[in-house]
Amino acid sequence: MTLQFSLGSAAPESVDTPCVVVGVYENGVLTSAAARVDTAAHGAIKRQVESGDITGKAGTTALLFAPEGVTARRVLVVGLGTQKTFDGARFQRVIIEAVRALGRLPIDSAACYLTDVDVPGHDAAWRVRTAALAADYAAYRYTATFKPRDKSAQPELAALTLAAGNDAQAGLDQAVAIAAGVRFARELANLPPNICNPAYIASQAEQFAGRHDKVSCNVLDEHKMAELGFGSLLAVGRGSANKPKLVVLEYKGGAEGDKPYAFVGKGITFDTGGISLKPGPGMEEMKFDMGGAAGVLGGFIAAVELGLPLNLVCVVPAVENMPDGDSYRPGDVLTSLSGLTIEVLNTDAEGRLILCDALTYTVQTFQPRVLIDAATLTGACVVALGKHATGLMSKHDDLAAELVAAGEQTLDRAWRLPLWDDYQVQLESGFADVANIGGKNAGAITAACFLARFTEGQRWAHLDIAGTAWDEGRKGLATGRPVSLLVQWLINQASQTQK
């Protein structure tokens, strides 16, 4: 079920809703909405604060049922933490916890007044957009379930009114479009790999293009790619019965002849490691190895839904990496689309082998003004940055700064790692132009250094989302990152172009 959003300006104590959401700081200070509700309810909130039932600690929730004097049937009080240190990241967190609490109630709608809370450095449009995106994230349920559902389930949260004036409408409009892209990315990545294979990704792209006049889709099969010389990409897919696809989406929202922006996303729909077989425990998570593809497709969808005035290309190499009698091997030498030869030292370093051909194709075909790839590329990036920050690498300081800024704006944050030529020596090979791995040290950086060899002369950035694309564990779900970062960056580019 997709959460529907609206803006509202009714007084919190008189809004007619199954539940009204207000905030309280850790020191017992009530927000203006909470104070109004408390006054109408004859001090019901303050009494619980004084008794210790409401602590105000960030993310905690307390429910008041049918308080006298308040129109809403319930009041959900959300802890905001200390007022002095309240910031955007905590604002996002308390919205997520509030919506999770709402989801446990037998209600189908609610009115949230947390968007009235002051967030230093951010206006009402930002608060509404961030709140809507956080709420949609928290309300997401994996819908392509293969388990029987309880037909007598209680009502589910379907509509959320956010307290704000008309000056926040632009923020809500952006949130709705970005949320659609995030949901698409999450749903695609969460699907089991026996469904979400290269052909399925191609079909989803074709269906989306069919619904939008300004979007076209071209899918290259293994025969066309062989004809063109995709030697590196095709080698990775040789061991699978699910043949590779190169999915190419074009959106023409800008002027005719304007160079497009370009996204490329790693689409390994399942990664066994190939002949360099991965350990069995946890291998089921390798269905998420197409998180880069899901992310750039979600970003593309959001940009189209927003109607951004620019041209955009999205290229997805979709491949399955399996062991088989025809699989590529450690020791093989591949000839890439660029003409560079690659010595394979590990078949589990396959993402860069499909990306290098996709990047070359994108540059040769579209001459983009900017090229950004996203990939669940290295475990080394997870070791370096954990699950909170996406790894960002680029030789272009201005582009890196733009992407970092977009991540800060959306709280879909990235952290820049070096991409110095000093690291290139680790990729030297005695049998080819380059090796596909650079040893155990600086693995995230050497992977990006490999890709840099195929993007020379191009304004390019690489996003390693291995730590941020999904939550670990058997019940872990895809996050939809870096959709928000990519779309915010495009919004910023469009805004600068129009000035």
Cβ atoms of 162 and 209 within 8 Å: the answer is no
Bridge partners of residue 259, in order along the sequence: none
Residue 92, number of CB atoms within 10 A of its CB: 18
Q: Which two tokens stand for residue 20?
A: 């009204």
Please state, in angstroms and rounded to a whole number, the distance separating the CA atoms of residues 153 and 106: 9
- Is 46 annotated to bind a ligand? Reply is no
Bridge partners of residue 334, in order along the sequence: 342
- Is 348 annotated to bind a ligand? Reply is yes
Q: Which two tokens stand for residue 261?
A: 């922006």
Residues 6+ apart with CB under 8 A from 406: 412, 485, 486, 488, 489, 492
- Is 350 annotated to bind a ligand? Reply is yes
Residue 336, number of CB atoms within 10 A of its CB: 24
Cβ atoms of 267 and 316 within 8 Å: the answer is yes
Q: List alpha helices for 339-439, DSSP H.
A: 351-366, 379-385, 397-410
Q: Which of 214, 252, 259, 278 is catalytic?
A: 278
Letter for the amino acid at 487?
V
- Is 266 annotated to bind a ligand? Reply is yes
- Burial classification of residue 241, based on how many CB atoms lie within 10 Å of its CB (0-12 exposed, 13-18 middle, 19 or more buried): exposed
DSSP 441-489: TTHHHHHHHHHHTTSTTS-EEEEE-TTTSB--STT--B--TTHHHHHHH
At 343, give phi and psi (nearest 5°): -85, 125
At 339, give phi and psi (nearest 5°): 100, -15
Closest CA to 392 of 450, 402, 425: 402
Cβ atoms of 387 and 410 within 8 Å: the answer is no
Cβ atoms of 346 and 437 within 8 Å: the answer is yes
Residues 6+ apart with CB under 8 A from 3: 135, 136, 139, 157, 158, 159, 160, 179
Cβ atoms of 326 and 338 within 8 Å: the answer is no
Q: Which of 127, 352, 395, 481 is catalytic?
A: 352
- Is 475 annotated to bind a ligand? Reply is no
**481 tagged catalytic:** no
**For strand 109-112 and strand 20-24, is the pairing parallel, antiparallel, or unpaired?**
parallel
Q: Which uninterrupted H or E stretch holds 205?
A: helix 198-210
Q: Which two tokens stand for residue 314?
A: 């999205």
Closest CA to 479 of 189, 269, 230, 211: 189
**352 tagged catalytic:** yes
User: Which residues line the annotated binding site?
Assistant: 266, 271, 289, 348, 350
Question: What are the binding residues for Mn(2+)?
Answer: 266, 271, 289, 348, 350
Residues labelled as active-site residues? 278, 352
